[in-house]
Structure 1
């Protein structure tokens, strides 16, 4: 039983670590505009720092940009291009990563 518990904990730890690494990797494409800590306002302060936006609102915005239905601050086209390669799970992971910063 102890071996099973150890193996289960090890697997859970490995999955958590790899998920965390994936989230950070996914977020790298956002860093140039939003900063490594998601704390950089964009467009001279028109776009607030991502960390200052409520998590649920930020996720809905990401989904809206990906769908092409959102054009906040005139950034719809560039954000649609940025989010096009991400799955919905990727967007959730990116959002969770921002929450963890």
Structure 2
């Protein structure tokens, strides 16, 4: 079982109309990749300009992170919004 730093995160577009859930072991680099891919039709995050971080959870176990990502992806939009609001009440964009 792999141990390290793993992040499950939720990004949005500048208008906060779309939510994207992902997993990474390097959050800053992954956000830079999302930013670089904005507008590119090949990926969901790119197509909808989802590069603004709203929420994240850190895990040391990759399996737990994968399971949590799946849980969050299965949530309704309303439940994802509640999760974000509990962590980031004002929906401020995190990390530049």
**Greater share of residues in helix:** 1
Higher RCO structure, 1 or 2 (CA under 8 Å, sep 6+): 2
TM-score by shorter chain over 0.5: no
TM-score range, shorter chain: under 0.3
TM value normalised by structure 2: 0.28
**Greater share of residues in strand:** 2
**Pair member with larger Rg:** 1
